[in-house]
């Protein structure tokens, strides 16, 4: 039985060492920030409950702090509850982030920043690269998925989701793995319980396309029958369509593209543009960088614009 994470569940709890990430105040500023900064850089995140950008920046800072592995600490300070401290440090807007080292501020930035910029800020403080274990696991999972080792890839994606429950790449990968393992009904139930916003995220939307194609009912057993029909009558576009879908089901990507291109070249409007519609779903399911998608898009452009 596969592990399905509830799409509506709250964020998984984070295992954080109390000394690594903590909430600070004006009363504890010296012991939380100044004194520890004599040994290791301390980042201070000034935020407020009403601040929208803070809600996106703070989780990113927390994530990079954990990945720094103790080389940088984080103290979060609510300016509404610590107005005197905010005034002393001349905090004019939030989020504002200070970095302290040897008891004094050495760097700072204001406003929400992408993770790449936050990571660069931390790496400068830490004096070296801060690798994301999540990215390494995702790379391993993608390799396993490409090799059709769905069980291994699924396990890796689940391990990511145990740390970052809303990681869309891992959610999309898990959907693909379950489709590959034939767990169609269970996967459909999971997808149907996701929010509309989540279903529109690129990595998840592409995986849902793979699910929808799997739900068409074509299987490896249909392949030889479809080949025989096409061989008997190459102009039979329904047979070409069945061949393309059966090739998709058996992961014969180049043949799947070829069959749909044949339909488009012969009659672009056949069955309400079914050839092009399914071909685009193939590309979405495989991903834009897949060689079959790249070659297929090139072939499609040639047919449509020739």
Please name which of 169, 120, 114 lies closest in space to residue 145, comparing C-alpha atoms: 169
DSSP 8-state assignment for residue 19: T
> Does 247 participate in catalysis according to the annotation?
no
Give the residue from 100, 74, 86, 19 showing the smallest Cα distance to 48.
86
Catalytic residue among 42, 51, 169, 223: 51
What lies within 8 Å, CB to CB, of 251 at 6+ separation is 148
- CB atoms < 10 A from the CB of 99, how many? 19
Residue position matching structure tokens 């300016």: 79
Out of 33, 42, 43, 54, which one is annotated catalytic? 54
C-alpha to C-alpha distance for 213 and 283, rounded to whole angstroms: 12
Residue with tokens 């103290």: 75
What stretches of the chain adopt beta strand conformation (E)?
21-23, 42-47, 73-78, 96-101, 104-110
- CA distances (Å), origin 203, targets 161, 173, 198, 199: 14, 8, 10, 9
Q: Cis peptide leading into 95, omega within 30 of 0?
A: yes
Q: Is 177 a catalytic residue?
A: no
Give catalytic residues, as residue numbers.
51, 54
């Amino acid at each position: 039985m596969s592990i399905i994470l509830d799409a509506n569940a709250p964020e998984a709890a984070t295992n954080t060492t109390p000394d690594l990430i903590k909430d600070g105040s004006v009363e504890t500023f010296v012991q939380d920030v100044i004194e520890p900064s004599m040994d290791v850089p301390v980042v201070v995140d000034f935020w407020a409950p009403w601040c929208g950008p803070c809600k996106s920046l703070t989780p990113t800072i927390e994530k990079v702090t954990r990945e720094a592995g103790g080389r940088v600490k984080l103290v979060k300070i609510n300016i509404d509850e610590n107005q005197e401290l905010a005034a002393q440090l001349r905090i004019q807007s939030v989020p504002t982030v200070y970095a302290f080292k040897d008891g004094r501020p050495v760097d700072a930035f204001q406003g929400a920043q992408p993770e790449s910029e936050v990571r660069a800020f931390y790496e400068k403080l830490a004096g070296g690269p801060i690798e994301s274990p999540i990215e390494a696991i995702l790379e391993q999972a993608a390799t396993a998925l490409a090799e059709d080792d769905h069980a291994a890839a699924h396990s890796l994606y689940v391990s990511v989701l145990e740390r970052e429950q809303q990681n869309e790449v891992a959610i999309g990968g898990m959907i693909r793995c379950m489709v590959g393992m034939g767990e169609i009904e269970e996967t459909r139930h999971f997808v149907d319980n996701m929010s509309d916003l989540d279903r529109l995220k690129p990595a998840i939307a592409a995986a849902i396309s793979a699910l929808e194609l799997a739900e068409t009912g074509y299987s490896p057993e249909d392949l030889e029958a479809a080949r025989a029909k096409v061989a008997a009558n190459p102009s039979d576009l329904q047979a070409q369509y069945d061949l393309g879908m059966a090739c998709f089901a058996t992961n014969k990507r180049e043949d799947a593209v070829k069959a749909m291109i044949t339909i488009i070249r012969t009659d672009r409007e056949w069955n309400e543009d079914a050839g092009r519609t399914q071909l685009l779903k193939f590309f979405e399911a495989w991903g834009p960088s897949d060689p079959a998608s790249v070659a297929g898009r090139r072939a499609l452009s040639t047919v449509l614009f020739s």
